[in-house]
Structure formats: C-alpha cells, structure tokens
Structure 1
Amino acid sequence: MLTLKDNLLIFTDLDGSLLDHDSYSWQAAQPWLDRLSAARLPLIIASSKTAAEIAILQQRLGLSAFPFIAENGAQIVFPPGWRHPARIFGADYAAIVNALHHLHASFAFRGFADADDATVAQWCGFTPQEARLARQRAGSEPLCWLDDQQQLAHFRHALAQQRLTLTRGGRFYHVMGRGVSKGRAARWLTRHYQLRHQRVFTTLALGDGPNDLPLLQSADYAVLIRALRSEPLSLPATRRGRLYRSRQTGPAGWSEGLDHFLLPGKARRIAHE
C-alpha cells in the first residue's frame, strides 16, 4: 500500500475530479491538498483546460511549484524555476483549426474557433474573461458535436486522414494530434522527474472521464471517480488491487480515492459505514 512517505507523483484531472463539475469548487478536497503539501508530494494537474486557465488555478490551489499537463496532453508547462520551455505534442492549434475548417462542409459541429468569448462563456458557465483564457489554445480544439452518431464515426475517420484524433471530455469532444493523450504526457513527465531527481517514482492518477482513461492506464495506481452524467467507464481487469472506483463524485470522490490508497484504515471504516 502507498504512503505519504513514498516517492510518489500524483496526476489529477480537474473538472469532475478535483473540481466540482458545476461549481468548480474544490472545498471537499482541501484537507487532502493540505496533507499533500505538508508531505511535499507533487500534485500534477492533467486537464483539458488551457495553460492560461491552469496557471491561475495552480496559484489558487497552491500548486505553482509543479509542472502541469494542459489540453489533454497536447502541452506540458514547467514552473519558472525549472528553466525548461513548454513542450507541445502533436499538431499545433493553427493546423488543427485549418483542418477542421475544411470539414465543416461535411459535418455539423462548432468549435471554440467558431465562437466568440460570450458564446464559449455560455457553453461552459464561464465569465467572458474566463472564456478568453479557454480560447488561448496551443494544440487542441474543443467542439460541440451537432451531428448524429453515425456521422461521428465518419468524422473520426476524416480526422485520422489528417493525422488528428478525437477524444471525449466532460463537456466537449476534443480534436488533437495523433498519439496525443494525458497518458503519454504523464509518462514523458514521469521520466523527466526521474532523470531530474535521479530516483524512481511511483505514479497515482485520478480522473473521471473518457479522456482520462489513458492517464489512468499509464499510472501504477489509479482512481476512477464516479462521473456525474456519463456511463461507467471500464479499465483492464488486470489492474486488480491498483484501481479504485469511487462511490462519490467530484472532489469528494477524489478525496475518497486518496483515502483508499494513502489512508487505508480510514478507507475501511468509511466502507463499513
């Protein structure tokens, strides 16, 4: 079982995981944020949000000393003290938007590039300023799918011909370069940590959506947080003992997962209540 004294890297999704899906509150997770900070364990955000959005949240969460993964793995951003430039995986944003422009004639969808700040704010429940940050993209495009499911399969095929791929997040579909995922970025960052610190790290990942599955599969231990509005997700059965499915949603489920792996005595008491 894991402990707070282990060489541990923790990767976390935001919306629907560390943050409440609707209110974006992390109040239920604050006790664990305090514990991890006291133990000096890295908590690395891996989100579909942009670097501009995550940087602000990092400050509010007290996590600015750590790198983070943005746009579903399309970008890794390092803290200033690391003196390491941001890394982009896959196609850049201009290439993605250009490819999607040519697909509008065949499929019904709207991406962030097709909307203004006010429209994106309405889609996400953001303020116009927050929407502006969400539109500062580097390597992925969120979109609202307005066509049927049969067309979605054709859309995936059309994207593949452009060396692009599609993943489903909590609110949107996300178009990215082929091979881009939170899991790939997490593996790259874990290797970077190990080289930087000259020791092996154990990884624990927490997430709730389909776009989190590569992240959870890449980690040594995983917490699949119960999603508020989607069907239950599946992971390989070979992860027995290293995968925990939370009963609660959002930051309460996030904390429940850390209880299970890092405070096993408390987790057992909760299970019998």
Structure 2
Amino acid sequence: MNYVVYTDLDGTLIDHDTYSYEPAKPALELLEKHNIPLIICTSKTRAEIEVYVKKLNSPHPFISENGGAIFIPKGYFDVDYDYTITYKNYNIIELGTEYPKLRQVLEDIKSSVDVEILGFGDLDDENVSKDTGLDIESARLAKMREYDEAFKVKGEEKNVADRIIEIIKSHGLNYTRGGRYWHLIGDNDKGKAVEILSDIYEKQFGNLQTVGLGDSLNDYPMLKSVDIPYLVQKPGGKHDDSITDSKINRIEGIGPKGWNQAIINLISR
C-alpha cells in the first residue's frame, strides 16, 4: 500500500514557539527511507514553505495559504492534470482569491467593527517578527502573501466575531482560524486542495492511502479529506477542543513530538 502524507507546519511538524522540527527527525527519516511523499499543507506562504522544502530536501508538491494554491514541480507527474499558471519551476493550481481583494475586504471589516484589527498587510517586517517570534527574514517571507490574509482581533468578544464572520460571508469569502490568527480566504480550504492533489497521485500511482497531520481547526478540512487523520496536542498538552470528530486519531505529544509518534506508529503497522 502506498501512502501520501499531508502535514501542517506551525504547531504540528514544527514547534509552536521555536519553529524547530528536531523532535520529528526520526519520522522524517523513515518517510524518506520508505519513499513516502511528504506534502506540506499550511497557512504559510509559498516563500516561507520554500525554506522548509530546501531544509527537508523535498522534491514534492506543496499547498500554500490554507489551500490557496497547489505548487507542483514541473515534471513531477507523468500523467496529465489541469493547472492555472506556470511560475518558476512550478505548475500551479490556483484555488484562492487574489490577495488585493482580501485586503479590500479586511478594510471593510475594520471600518465596520469597534475593535482594533491588524492584518499582515498593516505591519512592517519588524512588527510581524515581534508578533510571531519569527526572525526578520522569516517575517519578510511571511508577508509575501498571495491568497490569504492573516489578521488579529484585539479585545475580541463573541458579538464582534459574529459580525466579522457576517461581513466576510457578505463578500462571498470564507475564513478559518489557526493557532495564532484569523485567516481571510476565498472559496478554498486545505481539504479541497488535498482532494485535488490526491486525485493526481492516484492517477499516477494507483491505489494509495492518504494521511493528514494537524493541530488546529484550520486543519480540520484537511483531516476530513484523508484516510488516516492525526491530531497532535497543542502547547499545554491538550488537543484542540473545537475539533470533536471521533474519526480523527488523537495522538499523545505536543507538536513535532506527537507528529513523530504518529508517523512511527503508521509505518510500524
């Protein structure tokens, strides 16, 4: 049986605070040994993901900005598949809404609610670094957004959240929430992107089982779309209590420690 593994980054493969994947190295080596594709599927930008692709020496496709786009290296598949554009060495399947439109809608939200809202587009590299704990260069890459606007709501109350969601829906857009931020997105999510890419894998390789690993609510569409879903623990040692689906395997271990154990369990069986 062939596997394809989809993984979130922040709080899952990499630590929420240190951004290190050191605890997951044994499992990463197992995936490489068994030639199992590891597909990064995250809210991070293409520019950010490319750093991890290089560190992990990964030749595989990846999914950026909560399913905003699928980046497939040219020549990776032998089978035909539809894609939107070609850029650098990628065939790109675009699913999301362009960033300038998302910024316009966020401005509408900011003018309609009586709390402070700050998106990445409002911040310079230094302030993104301060808010996220990223170094300045990583913060610069995080601001290179194409299909997703990350934002924070200060002093949030339920009625404010409800109003924000109402405005987002009125523009025909969607949202999700990760470990740190709200995310304003178009008609896309991680699950839709995973299903499209998995179909291409099946055309190429035949029968396979898909695996997904995440830690937060914005991973839920991905976890619903795979055959074997794993939820790792968040800082503090608890699983995200907003995910109640009993079909999802809850693994002991925070972030990359749980990730490591899930993959070892998967391959050992």
**TM surpasses 0.5:** yes
SS at match of 1:246: strand
Could you tell me which amino acid in structure 2 is paired with residue 114 of structure 1? D
Is the Cα contact below 8 Å between 1:142 and 1:173 reproduced in 2? yes
Question: C-alpha displacement at 1:60, in angstroms?
Answer: 0.4
Question: C-alpha displacement at 1:258, in angstroms?
Answer: 1.7
Please identify which structure carries the higher helix content: 1
Distance in 2 (alpha carbons) for counterparts of 1:111 and 1:40 = 39
Distance in 2 (alpha carbons) for counterparts of 1:247 and 1:198 = 32
The equivalent of 2:165 in structure 1 is: 156
Distance in 2 (alpha carbons) for counterparts of 1:84 and 1:172 = 28
Q: 1:217 to 1:205 in 2, by over 3 A?
A: same
Q: 1:177 to 1:32 in 2, by over 3 A?
A: same
The aligned length equals 252
SS at match of 1:78: strand
The equivalent of 1:24 in structure 2 is: 19
The question of 1:214 aligning with 2:221 is answered: yes
Instruction: Tell me the TM-score normalised to structure 2 length.
Output: 0.89
Structure 1 residues 133-163: Cα deviation after superposition (integer angstroms, max 9, x where no partner): 1011110000011232211111101100111
The equivalent of 1:49 in structure 2 is: 44
Is the Cα contact below 8 Å between 1:226 and 1:248 reproduced in 2? yes
Instruction: Tell me the TM-score normalised to structure 1 length.
Output: 0.88
The question of 1:79 aligning with 2:85 is answered: no
Is the Cα contact below 8 Å between 2:97 and 2:186 reproduced in 1? yes
Q: In structure 1, list runs of 5 or more residues that go unmatched.
A: 1-5, 265-273
Question: C-alpha displacement at 1:259, in angstroms?
Answer: 2.6
The equivalent of 1:269 in structure 2 is: none
Q: In structure 2, list runs of 5 or more residues that go unmatched.
A: 77-88
RMSD (Å) for aligned C-alpha atoms: 1.5
The equivalent of 1:14 in structure 2 is: 9
SS at match of 1:72: coil
Could you tell me which amino acid in structure 1 is paired with residue 55 of structure 2? R
Q: Which of 69, 91, 95 in structure 1 is aligned with 2:101?
A: 95
Is the Cα contact below 8 Å between 2:151 and 2:182 reproduced in 1? yes
The equivalent of 1:3 in structure 2 is: none
The equivalent of 2:110 in structure 1 is: 104
Structure 1 residues 22-56: Cα deviation after superposition (integer angstroms, max 9, x where no partner): 11111111111111111111000001100000011
